[in-house]
Structure formats: C-alpha cells, structure tokens
C-alpha cells in the first residue's frame, strides 16, 4: 500500500498565487515528510482548485494564459499535477473551452459535471461527449483524455484526479488518495473463508488509517488546513500483485466479467463500507481498465465490457475509468454511455466518473499501444452506444430521486 496522492485544495486568486501557494506547498511538503517517516511511500502531491469558471476571466486566449500561469506556479511550488475542477451546468459556456485548455497544458486535469444529487443534465452530457471526442484528436494516441472526466454526483474533496475539486469560498483543505489494490490481493490470497478475507482486508486498511490519521490531524492543526479524510478506493498498479481484477478472481471467480462477478464486487464494496476511517471521495471499487493488468487482459480477451463495468458500479464501483474505445466513436455513442453513468449515480445517490479514451485510428479489437508506465495495454472495447434523442436528450434536466426501500 502507498499514498497515490496527498491532494491539497484551494480557492485560487490569480493575482496573488505566490502568497497563497507558498504556505500551502510548505504544508504539503511537511506532511509528505512526516508520512514517509512513518514508512509509507508517497507517489505524488497534487493541487486541486475550485471550478475554473469561477476564477478564470476574459477571452478564451486570456483564460488560457491565466491557466498556463497557474500551471507554471504549481510546478514551481513542487506539486506534480493540478486539477482545476469541473465545468458545471450553471456555467455551460465553460465546457467548450476544455479541449483548448487541454491542448495548452501538460499537467492540468479537468472535469465536466453531468449530474448531481437531484438531476441529470442532458446538455452537459452532450457537452462532455463532445469534449471527449475533440480531446481524442489532440495527440495520435488519444492520451489527452487521461486528463478529463465526466463527473456524476461527485462532491468536492475527492482526492483522486480528475475528480478532485475544491468548494468555492471554503477554507484550504486536503485529503489522501490510497493505492491499495495490493492489500486486497494479499488479504484474499491467504484467506480460506469470506469472513477471513473481509477481516484481513479491513484490518490492513484500518491499521494504515490509524497510523496516518494522527499525523494528518497534527499537521492540519499546525498549518490550519482542514483534513477531509481518506479515499481507500483500491486503486491498482498495472501489475498482477496490485490488481483489483486479480483480487476479484481470488474470491473464487474463474475470470472477472462473467456471471458471478457482481457478487464479488458487492462483497468488496460492502467490506469497504465497514471501514471506520474518516471517509471522503469514493471509497469504492476502482476498476480502471488500463491501469489494472488483469482487467486489461480480460477486456482484451472480450470477457469484460463497458456494460459489465457499469453493472459493478451499481454496487459501489467508481464508474468507468481509462476505457479504450474506437477512434471513430461518435458523440452520440459517447453521450449514451455518459447518460447511463449519470443516471446511475443520481438514482443510487453515489459518486461516479467517466474517463473514456477513444483512440484515433483504432477500431474494436485493435491492440492499444501506450508507452506509459501506469498503463497495461489492452484492446479497444465496444461502446455499445446508440443515438439517444427526445424526449430524454431534449429535457433541460432529468429529475431523479435516490430510491428509498419500503419499510
């Protein structure tokens, strides 16, 4: 287990970035040193802001220059990556700017809200589908979409990118993103019963939280930066020893993707719900296809589909992540996927994200060819999409309430 990210949150003031960033970067460095002294590896430190439409201003050119300025400042103060929050339905003009912003930056992540706790927004769904299609053409491998996700019912302070954003007007804060799929693999490898699998898995996560929480609390108080909590979504690394797909199969499956997989998903998600640590973000199943060696193989073999991953999200996955799709996937096909994702998130009252990656020149079944240390190459998956028209897509919003079980 390691810390994927110490993510700090701020409401930036473009005219006084140095004054804001210097003390927050000092806090981040001190926290990293203290956590590493406790024996944990910290992979990265990151900064997330309030939604960019609230603090960028002027023409597209002017906003791009401001964004480049803050990216430079973030790197100079030692953070590895920056998330500038999502475009939202109440600032709809912000969505079309994102492809230009992606093209102008290297380390900046973006989001687009497609639903919240009360409704799905079809126009935002379509806007995000257009962003994904346009971003896929920014490089020959479609890699720019790694830095964009559609956000469905995602609240502030989730520490994983691209979902991370700060609540405008609120004090500075931080949270921890944990890379812990390896813990599930270890716990399930040595378990002979489900009870033992659950207890070993939870014991390791709770023990880590118990060691980290006092450090976070102390340094939080010293620097007056609010601690929001841990996200123990079992993030993978693209090798079998840290594969959540492998953890699924260790519970008795021949292969993830076939019938029976939902039961494994429900079991792991239920175990995470039993955790007593301070929670923020998802704390759900992170089934990131190209970040997980076993998922990448199952998808390449045609045994794992986009529909399967949506199904597992219904029992507390984190959505659709690093999904390789055909380069000619239409906006309508992408929008249909996001519409389902958004509706699932709002109806179930849970956060989900969609990070879809159409790859130029590739069709279904073609091998991916990324040269990226955090990806396991796979094959291009079917969208299973369609054109969704009126009345669903013509509505200003689709009002949905989380289902309440009858007494």
Q: Encode the chain (407 residues) as per-residue pLDDT tens digits.
A: 999 999 999 999 999 999 999 999 999 999 999 999 999 999 999 999 999 999 999 999 999 999 999 999 999 999 999 999 999 999 999 999 999 999 999 999 999 999 999 999 999 999 999 999 999 999 999 999 999 999 999 999 999 999 999 999 999 999 999 999 999 999 999 999 999 999 999 999 999 999 999 999 999 999 999 999 999 999 999 999 999 999 999 999 999 999 999 999 999 999 999 999 999 999 999 999 999 999 999 999 999 999 999 999 999 889 999 999 999 999 999 999 999 999 999 999 999 999 999 999 999 999 999 999 999 999 999 999 899 999 999 999 999 998 876 76
Residue 198 lies in a domain: yes
Q: Which residues of 341-365 are buried (b: 16+ CB within 10 A; e: fewer)?
A: bbbbbbbbebbbbbbbbbbeebeee
Residue 199 lies in a domain: yes
The Cα 46–Cα 83 span in angstroms is: 8
**Residue 91 corresponds to which tokens in the numbers above?**
């600032």
What CATH number is given to the structural domain containing 102? 3.20.70.20
Query: What is the Cα Rg of the chain in Å?
Result: 20
Residue 404 lies in a domain: no
Can you give the residue range of the structural domain that contains 334? 2-399
The Cα 196–Cα 233 span in angstroms is: 20
pLDDT value of residue 407? 65
pLDDT value of residue 42? 98
Give the residue from 85, 68, 70, 96 showing the smallest Cα distance to 18.
Answer: 70
Residue 183 lies in a domain: yes
For the chain, how long is the longest CA-to-CA vector?
Answer: 62
Residue 378 lies in a domain: yes
CA end-to-end distance (rounded Å), the chain: 41
Burial (CB count within 10 angstroms: exposed 0-12, middle 13-18, buried 19+), residue 91: middle
The Cα 182–Cα 240 span in angstroms is: 9
Residue 72 lies in a domain: yes
Residue 9 lies in a domain: yes
pLDDT value of residue 402? 87
pTM > 0.85: yes or no:
yes
In total, how many domains does the chain have? 1
pLDDT value of residue 404? 78
Give the residue from 386, 263, 276, 385 showing the smallest Cα distance to 314.
Answer: 263
């Amino acid at each position: 287990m390691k810390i994927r990210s110490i993510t700090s949150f701020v409401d930036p003031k473009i005219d006084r970035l140095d004054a804001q960033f210097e003390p927050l970067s000092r806090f981040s460095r001190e926290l990293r040193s203290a956590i590493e002294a406790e024996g944990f590896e910290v992979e990265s430190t990151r900064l997330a802001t309030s939604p960019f439409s609230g603090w960028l201003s002027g023409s597209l050119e002017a906003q791009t220059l401001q964004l480049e300025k803050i990216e430079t400042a973030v790197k100079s103060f030692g953070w590895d990556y920056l998330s500038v929050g999502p475009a939202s339905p109440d600032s709809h003009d912000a969505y079309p700017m994102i492809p230009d912003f992606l093209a102008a930056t290297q380390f900046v992540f973006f989001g687009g809200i497609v639903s919240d706790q009360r409704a799905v927004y079809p126009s935002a769904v379509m806007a995000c589908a257009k962003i994904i299609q346009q971003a896929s053409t920014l490089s020959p491998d479609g890699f720019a979409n790694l830095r964009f996700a559609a956000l469905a019912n995602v609240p502030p302070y989730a520490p994983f990118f691209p979902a991370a954003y700060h609540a405008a007007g609120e004090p500075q804060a931080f949270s921890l993103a944990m890379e812990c799929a390896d813990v599930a693999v270890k716990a399930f490898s040595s378990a002979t019963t489900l009870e033992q699998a659950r207890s070993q898995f939870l014991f390791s996560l709770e023990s880590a939280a118990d060691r980290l929480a006092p450090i976070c609390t102390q340094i939080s108080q010293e620097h007056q930066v609010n601690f929001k909590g841990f996200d123990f979504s079992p993030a993978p690394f693209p090798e079998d020893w840290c594969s959540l797909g492998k953890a699924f199969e260790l519970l008795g499956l021949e292969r993830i993707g076939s019938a029976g997989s939902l039961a494994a998903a429900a079991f792991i998600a239920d175990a995470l719900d039993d955790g007593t640590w301070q929670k923020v973000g998802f704390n759900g199943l992170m089934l990131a296809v190209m970040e997980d060696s076993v998922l990448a193989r199952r998808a390449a073999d045609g045994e794992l589909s986009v529909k399967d991953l949506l199904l597992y999200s219904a029992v507390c996955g984190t959505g659709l992540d690093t999904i390789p799709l055909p380069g000619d996937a239409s906006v309508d096909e992408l929008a249909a996927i996001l519409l389902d994702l958004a509706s699932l998130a709002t109806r179930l009252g849970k956060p989900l994200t969609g990070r879809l990656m159409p790859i130029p020149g590739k069709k279904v079944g073609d091998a991916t060819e990324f040269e990226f240390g955090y990806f396991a190459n796979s094959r291009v998956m079917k969208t299973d999409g369609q054109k969704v028209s009126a009345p669903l897509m013509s509505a200003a919003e689709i009002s949905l309430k989380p289902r309440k079980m009858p007494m």
